[in-house]
């Protein structure tokens, strides 16, 4: 079973952006990386794609939260992971969950391997 992930990644200046996609592709995931958040929403409606998960990586947390809420309006069941900055306090973490995200990973500490571990919590690993 191929796992198709929509990676909405407008934080392209962040060094971790360039490592997520190659790592996930190497591990056998299909990654549709899009930089423009709101046109990315249209891709969720594409009948040709069946995304297993959405990963949101924005430079500003409030933008991520707005995007997560919009995704939830369109799809109440798809797993959503938010990639966020280090040193987020309990208030921000609570806001991530209240917006509708299933989980989050903290950068730069997360790295691609931790992101993959988080993905596997919500979808079956490749080859199983």
- pLDDT tens digits for 39-92? 788 888 888 888 999 999 888 888 899 999 999 999 999 999 998 876 667 788
Cβ proximity of 123 and 79 under 8 Å: yes
Architecture of domain 4-122 in this structure: 3-Layer(aba) Sandwich (3.40)
Determine the pLDDT at residue 78: 95
Cα–Cα distances in Å, from 93 out to 21, 32, 61, 66, 81?
24, 26, 10, 14, 12
Digit-coded pLDDT (tens) for 83-125: 887 666 778 888 999 999 999 988 766 678 888 889 999 986 5
Q: Is the pTM of this model over 0.85?
A: yes
β-strands 53-57, 80-85 pairing? parallel
- Beta strands 103-107 and 4-9 are unpaired
């Amino acid at each position: 079973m191929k796992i198709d992930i929509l990676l909405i990644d407008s934080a392209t200046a962040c060094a971790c952006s360039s490592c997520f996609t190659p790592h996930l592709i190497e591990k056998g995931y299909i990654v549709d990386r899009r930089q423009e958040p709101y046109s990315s929403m249209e891709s969720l409606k594409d009948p040709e794609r069946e995304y297993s998960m959405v990963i949101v990586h924005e430079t500003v947390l409030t933008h991520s939260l707005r995007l997560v809420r919009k995704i939830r309006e369109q799809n109440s069941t798809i797993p959503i992971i938010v990639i966020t900055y280090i040193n987020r306090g309990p208030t921000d973490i609570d806001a991530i969950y209240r917006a509708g995200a299933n989980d989050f990973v903290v950068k730069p500490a997360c790295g691609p391997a931790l992101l993959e571990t988080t993905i596997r919590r919500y979808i079956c690993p490749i080859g199983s």
